[in-house]
Amino acid sequence: MQLIRRPRRLRSSETIRKMVREHHVRVEDLIYPMFVMFGEKKKIPVSSMPGVYNYSLDEYVVALKDVVEAGIPAVLLFGLPESKDEIGTGAYDRHGIVQEAVRLTKKHYPDLYVITDVCLCEYTDHGHCGVIQDGQVLNDPTLKLLAQTAVSHAEAGADMVAPSDMMDGRVGAIREALDEAGYTQLPIMSYAAKFASAFYGPFREAAGSTPQFGDRRTYQMDPANGNEAMLETDLDIQEGADMLIIKPALAYGDITYRTKEQFGLPIAAYNVSGEYAMVKAAAEKGWIDEKRVVMESLVSMKRAGADLIITYHALDAARWIKEEQS
């Protein structure tokens, strides 16, 4: 039998493989999550996430130099307050940790795009993402506090806000508050499909946001539900979301694909802490080639339909991408 089509012809050398490659990860696609805290000269390693740190504001500014020099266009900020209370006051304090970090970023690196996480979990003493009454997370009273948080971030100079709480109606509440405050041009990148995932464990160490009772399954989504993810996304778009986040990324490529096909908005896949930690742990054991696994994982997110990737691997990935181009 004569073979007419031989796909291997286009795999015969690195040159032709690069020429016909369908998807690429660019440095411009990367968003780097960073954790900031009050104090001075603090750069505290997150034990479950090698290479990730909690930074005091002075050390944060130093770390930003590496981000900017790597060509990474954006950071996503998470804050660790000095104190916590039952209603997360530190989240919407005009001089809170994220607000001060935004101001410092814009002072030193005005062109770096600053995205702020909008949630209460790092700031509440119970570790949940909203107001608690009788052991329940109250949806509607939480919306006002989330809106206040978003406006305070905008006032500090944030370029984009990213609500991650998964309260019903939060995008609409934030959009309305931003518009009333005069920030009609400030975009919202909604955590549209955020699942109640076991992959978040290391993040909760980094952000000090582990719930003190129960879990988050009454507001974050059931990992088994794809159709519900489409419903959540549709609602966020109707309420004014400009971009969408799918979280986690690796185990949810189908959600990214369906979201892109159905809605067409820009999507950021969040390569979360547990995904990062697994790769780092296996690489330290010598069980995997870290660079190849990371880049294969990231390109899978692009292949699924992501336009951007939020990842703790950003600094390494940026370096590897530039090495490939040189």
For the annotated binding site for 5-aminolevulinate, the residues are 204, 216, 273, 312
Active site residue 107: no
Residues in the chain: 326
For the annotated binding site for Zn(2+), the residues are 119, 121, 129
What are the residue ranges spanned by the domains of the chain? 23-325
Please tell me the distance from the alpha carbon of residue 226 to that of residue 169, in angstroms, as a whole number. Answer: 20
pLDDT, tens digit, for every residue of 294-323?
Answer: 999 999 999 999 999 999 999 999 999 999
pLDDT, tens digit, for every residue of 246-289?
Answer: 999 999 999 999 999 999 999 999 999 999 999 999 999 999 99
The pLDDT value given to residue 277:
96
Report which of 160, 161, 159, 219 is spatially closest to residue 193, judged by C-alpha positions.
Answer: 219
Of residues 18, 84, 107, 194, which has the active-site annotation?
194
Active site residue 194: yes
In the predicted structure, residue 213 carries a pLDDT above the cut 70: no
For the annotated binding site, the residues are 119, 121, 129, 204, 216, 232, 273, 312
243 — pLDDT class (breaks 50, 70, 90): very high
In the predicted structure, residue 216 carries a pLDDT above the cut 80: no
Collect all residues with Cβ–Cβ distance below 8 Å to 36 and sequence separation of at least 6.
54, 55, 56, 57, 60, 77, 78, 79, 80, 97, 98, 101
- Quickly name the fold that domain 23-325 has: TIM Barrel (3.20.20)
Please tell me the distance from the alpha carbon of residue 137 to that of residue 61, in angstroms, as a whole number. Answer: 35
130 — pLDDT class (breaks 50, 70, 90): confident
Of residues 18, 43, 84, 247, which has the active-site annotation?
247
* Range in 100-104, 133-137, 173-177, 288-292 with the lowest mean pLDDT: 133-137
pTM check: above 0.85: yes
For the annotated binding site for Mg(2+), the residues are 232
Q: Over range 116-137, report the average pLDDT.
A: 85
